Amino acid sequence: MKRYSAFAIAREAFRQHKGWDRAWASPEPKKDYEVVIIGAGGHGLATAYYLGKNFGITNVAIIEKGWLGGGNTGRNTTIIRSNYLQDPSAAIYEKARSLYETLSQDLNYNIMFSPRGVLMLAQTEHEVRGYKRTAQANSLQGVTTEFIGPQQVKKICPIMNIDGPRYPVLGGLWQARGGTARHDAVAWGYARACSDMGMHILQKTEVTGVTQDGGTVTGVDTTRGHIGCKKLGIVVAGHSGVVADMAGFRLPIESVPLQALVSEPIKPCMDIVVMANTVHGYMSQSDKGEMVIGGGTDSFNGYHQRGSFHHLEETVRALIETFPMIARLKMLRHWGGIVDVTGDRSPILSKTPLGNCFINSGWGTGGFKAIPGSGWGFAELMAKGHSPLTAEFGLDRFREGRFIDESVAAGVAH
């Protein structure tokens, strides 16, 4: 694989850009692999990458029903933060945030990481107490955040109306090293690196069954034939329950749609990410000038990936009070994704009742920000059978009542 660089761009300019290689190969599947990962989204690709980089396991196939990064990875709103309350959550999200900072260099692929800062608004006294508590917890966890007052909020984000009649801004939890990245580029960068290590990315390949012998996984049936494996990783977000059913076990999750929209592009007016949990809305401005807007999940289960006007109207109506200027904007496009939500709003990274089968799911509305940390920990779990990053996120916690309650930190969205 040729390295990308300023010199390479200049060289190819003289060749009419005819010398570039494909970013990743599209091979025919082999009969057997050491590891098969179902799902070529960010988490699946990151898992494969760290299996190769950290443990030298490169006989890997990443199987994708659709196209690479076409699920939640390409449908989220790109927010990255690690200001979670519980210790296990803060550890894995902070690992992810720190990996994001150098990911462009590690992958030799520009993921457009922008540590612009994330501000979570406190618009009720309950939120003020909750965010002050989180700031103290983050301090103990080694995560740099601070609670700031309303005047500091206004200084950081001048376009905000902090004196709203229903929900005035009473302060906010500020993480200066949070930010955004280009979601597609994260998937493409990991895919390119995996392909360079000799891994097979099999797109347009649907898994139709999971085969086993004596309680241990032996492979998967696909639309391109049976593929054998010694270990299987299920990383399919909103379809986790469907694939788990193929493997013979159930998951304590439900799949619900999550919607987002972008406005027409405008001149730069907002250089941070703002989340408003009380009114269920969050917003940032993309590099193209669009205002990226999202809210909470739909109130019903489903598998559709499209928006609905009544939900978008609810989200935008709430945000207009805090950001009056967006009332004049036109919506450019809107869409939906399928998120897998657990009862405690924390993910599942775990062994399963089926031997040598592992599950990575339950990220709900916060999956994108966790991609590098999730891949790092899940790869270690698959390679060694245990990982400090994933130890608390096992399936057994639901049976034992060891919940990791993140309903405050993860209750709205990204």
CA atoms within a 13 Å half-sphere pointing along the CA-CB vector of 385? 2
Burial class (CB in 10 A: 0-12, 13-18, 19+), 382: buried
- The residue ranges of every structural domain in the chain are 31-109+182-252+344-400, 118-177+255-341
Tokens of 81: 């933060």
**Residue 408: predicted pLDDT:** 62
Answer for the pair 332, 262: CB distance below 8 angstroms, yes or no.
yes
Q: 117 Cβ partners below 8 Å, 6+ apart?
A: 156, 174, 175, 176, 177, 178, 179, 272, 273
pLDDT of 18 reads 86
- Which has the closest alpha carbon to 284: 122, 413, 123, 186? 413
Q: Position of tokens 């009742």?
A: 353
Q: Largest alpha-carbon pair distance within the chain?
A: 64
Surface-to-core class of residue 169, CB atoms within 10 Å of its CB (0-12 exposed, 13-18 middle, 19+ buried): buried
pLDDT in tens, the chain (414 residues): 788 999 999 998 989 888 888 999 999 999 999 999 999 999 999 999 999 999 999 999 999 999 999 999 999 999 999 999 999 999 999 999 999 999 999 999 999 999 999 999 999 999 999 999 999 999 999 999 999 999 999 999 999 999 987 889 999 999 999 999 999 999 999 999 999 999 999 999 999 999 999 999 999 999 999 999 999 999 999 999 999 999 999 999 999 999 899 999 999 999 999 999 888 889 999 999 999 998 888 888 888 888 777 778 888 888 888 999 899 999 999 998 999 999 999 999 999 999 999 999 999 988 999 999 999 999 999 999 999 999 999 999 999 999 998 876 654 444
CA dihedral 399, 405, 410, 412 (to 10 degrees): 90
Measured CA to CA, the distance from residue 359 to residue 377 in angstroms comes to 12
Q: How far apart are CA 307 and CA 311, in angstroms?
A: 8
Question: What local confidence, expressed as pLDDT, does residue 409 receive?
Answer: 61
Distance CA 324, CA 160 (A): 8
Q: Is 293 helix (H, G, I), strand (E, B) or coil?
A: strand
The domain 31-109+182-252+344-400: what is its CATH number? 3.50.50.60
Q: Count Cβ atoms below 10 Å from residue 21 Cβ, excluding itself.
A: 11
Burial class (CB in 10 A: 0-12, 13-18, 19+), 279: buried
What would the DSSP string read from start to end of 307-371? --HHHHHHHHHHHHHH-GGGGGPPEEEEEEEEEEEETTS--EEEE-SSBTEEEEE--TT--GGGH
Gap between the Cα atoms of 6 and 409, Å rounded: 40
d(Cα 343, Cα 235) in Å, to the nearest integer?
Answer: 19
DSSP state of 21: P
Fold of domain 118-177+255-341: D-Amino Acid Oxidase; Chain A, domain 2 (3.30.9)
